[in-house]
Amino acid sequence: ALGGSHRMRDVLQTNDAWIAEPLRKLLTEGQESGAFSIDNIADAANTILGGVLLAVLNRSMSGTDTTDPPFLRQISEQTVQGVLRR
């Protein structure tokens, strides 16, 4: 299983503590303020993280700059549009 090894578990726990938990907190605050329309905070956070990961990995594998400002702006805008209340 993906999380079966001790090393992978450590990586996943670190990811959860430093990346996923703050994102879930941000999404919860946005939902509570009425700015975001989210049914399930955990699923939304995982979807956002997965989408960003794939976008960055694809650029990295193709040798394209993953820190390119237009790219970062585009994935940021697409991510936010996915949770904004309509």
Show Cβ contacts of residue 56 under 8 Å, excluding neighbours closer than 6 positions.
66
pLDDT band per the 50, 70, 90 thresholds, residue 73: very high
What pLDDT is stored for residue 31 in this prediction? 95
Cα 1 from Cα 52, distance rounded (Å): 23
What pLDDT is stored for residue 45 in this prediction? 95
Is the predicted pLDDT of residue 2 greater than 90, yes or no?
A: no
Which pTM does this prediction carry? 0.81
Cα 86 from Cα 58, distance rounded (Å): 30
**Tens digit of each residue's pLDDT (9 = 90 or more) over 26-56:** 999 999 999 999 999 999 999 999 999 999 9
Tell me the pLDDT of the chain averaged across its residues.
Answer: 91
Cα 84 from Cα 6, distance rounded (Å): 37
